[in-house]
């Protein structure tokens, strides 16, 4: 029995990790684009981007999942996500990436705006291009400053993956829950907690290492 439980929990956990990694891979770069949008000199763009960020940060991720999965079907009478498991997974990925890139964008914006004007000016008087100033001077300083808040969000994401369950994506929590119906036992569901703890524990260690690596300057 224990073996059977572990096997199925592991299968669910693989999906959880997949959700986690793909969300990061999408939201980390998309967040930067949104951050630039929210700082744009072009007022209209700035207002539109900040409005979207407000909507996304101001509503529950669970609700966003439901709207993104069912919304297009209700509007266009057509399921744009495709049938079955892969369609639901695509919808989850889209919702997660949009949600997390908005949160990341605010962290990036805070980081970018915290860099002193003097760093940009020092680059300018040395004749560097705006691009060089950003990538060669500002970026690493921003990264250093955003590691702690990004760490927070990343750990939250580990647990938020469980929300995929509301549109029937088979992840860790669901894997644990199935045993309640089929075998009348609840401990497998409790056990999923161990997986989350291990995963976030490993991430905490990795983040601390990264933070240490950047501690040579301030």
Q: Which of 2, 77, 125, 182 binds another protein (CB under 8 A)?
A: 125
Nearer to another protein among residue 102 and residue 150 (C-beta): 150
Q: How many residues does the chain have?
A: 218
What angle is formed at CA 133 by the lines to CA 130 and CA 136, rounded to 5 degrees? 135
Q: Is residue 112 within 8 Å of 39, Cβ to Cβ?
A: yes
User: CA–CA separation, 14 vs 3, rounded Å?
Assistant: 16
Using the rule CB under 8 A, is 202 a contact of another protein? no
State the minimum distance, in angstroms, from the CB of residue 199 to another protein.
Answer: 31
Whose CA is closest to 203, among 161, 141, 142? 161
- 59 contacts another protein (rule: CB under 8 A): no
Among 141, 161, 162, 192, which residue sits at the site for another protein (rule: CB under 8 A)? 141
Asked if residue 84 binds another protein (CB under 8 A), the reply is: no
Q: Does residue 148 come out as left (phi exceeding 0), alpha (psi in the -120 to 50 range) or beta?
A: alpha
CB of 137 to another protein, least distance (A): 5
**Contact flag: residue 127 with another protein (CB under 8 A):** yes
Asked if 204 is part of the footprint of another protein (rule: CB under 8 A), the reply reads: no
Rounding to the nearest 10 degrees, give the CA dihedral for residues 19, 22, 24, 29: -150
Tokens of residue 95, six digits = 């919702």
Beta carbon nearer to another protein, 132 or 204: 132
CB 2 within 8 A of CB 140: no
Question: Is residue 210 a contact residue for another protein (CB under 8 A)?
Answer: no
Q: Binders of another protein among 143-182, rule CB under 8 A?
A: 144
Kindly list the residues in this chain that would bind another protein in the complex (CB under 8 A): 116, 118-119, 121-122, 124-129, 132, 136-137, 140-141, 144, 216-218
């Amino acid at each position: 029995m224990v073996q059977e439980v572990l096997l199925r929990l592991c299968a669910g956990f693989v999906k959880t990790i997949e959700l986690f990694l793909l969300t990061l891979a999408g939201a980390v770069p998309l967040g930067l684009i949104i951050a630039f949008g929210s700082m744009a000199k072009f007022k209209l763009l700035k207002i539109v981007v900040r409005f979207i960020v407000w909507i996304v940060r101001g509503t529950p991720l669970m609700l966003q999942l439901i709207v993104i999965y069912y919304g297009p079907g209700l509007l266009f009478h057509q399921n744009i996500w495709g049938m079955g498991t892969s369609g639901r997974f695509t919808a989850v990925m889209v919702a997660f990436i949009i949600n997390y890139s908005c949160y990341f964008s605010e962290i990036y914006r805070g980081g970018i705006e915290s860099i002193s004007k003097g760093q940009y000016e020092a680059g300018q008087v040395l004749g560097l291009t705006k691009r060089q100033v950003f990538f060669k001077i500002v970026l690493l300083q921003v990264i250093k400053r955003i590691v702690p808040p990004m760490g927070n969000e990343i750990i939250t994401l580990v647990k938020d993956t469980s929300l995929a369950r509301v549109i029937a994506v088979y992840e860790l929590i669901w894997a644990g829950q199935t045993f309640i119906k089929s075998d009348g036992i609840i401990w497998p569901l409790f056990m999923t907690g161990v997986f989350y703890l291990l995963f976030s524990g490993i991430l905490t260690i990795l983040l601390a290492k990264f933070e240490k690596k950047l501690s040579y300057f301030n």
